[in-house]
A and B are shown apart, each in its own frame.
Chain A
């Protein structure tokens, strides 16, 4: 019972500080428009609870200057907001990558190994 209660909190804790770098990583290949970005992340159920929960984080990334946005006309429907990686965002992502690789390796060495 206790474990069941802990699970959602654990997922939230793991996503915090990680998900935003997934957004930055999705922008490495070039700009993407908001809905496309949110749908791509929303499809990863291990990473997000729902599409709407991603927007507060996108707003924070905009304020931090790690992404820039520009409005474009769309072939159908309202103008679209496109997200692009900034220089600061790319630097932050590179830093995260090196930290993450070391972090993941260390956790795997201890958690994922068979008890000896």
Chain B
């Protein structure tokens, strides 16, 4: 490890320590961004000098201040909603029928099930109760088709 590499590693470790209370995924994001910035800025140094590295790190700023900025970004300011008149309607249209539709299907299914159970029960009762009473049995069989789920 060269002196310059050490400077960079020390700086990144200081940011890591200062941002220790930030959720790991965000902290890793931040460190990756800073590492990438330093690598790109180093590539522009010709020749690479210690002073050059120090300037890059100075411009990035105090690790504590960067950590504060990252902390503030955890609770972003209420971003103005993206105003797209078509969107909220479209989103509601997409979401609305989803929930309403599901409830409707459940209600219809419950009714269908109820009628089927009633019809079967009635059929069983009539069949067991009286042999000659064919009339009501026919009615019950007629009641079957509407009780089938539509479509």
Contacts and interface: CB of A to CB of B under 8 A. Distances in A.
A107 B29 CA distance: 37
Given A16-B77, A78-B40, A55 B33 contact: yes
A51 B80 contact: no
Chain B interface size range? 35 or more
Interface in A6-30: 12, 16-17, 20
Interface in B22-53: 26, 29-30, 33-34, 36-37, 39-44
Q: List the 9 closest pairs (A to B, CB-CB), nearest first.
A: A77-B43, A50-B61, A52-B60, A53-B69, A17-B77, A56-B70, A56-B73, A55-B33, A52-B66
B149 interface: no
Contact of B66 (A55, A60, A95, A99): A55
A20 to B, nearest CB: 8
Contact of A49 (B41, B43, B65, B73): B65
Interface string B69-95: 110110011111111100000000000
B10 interface: no
B62 interface: yes
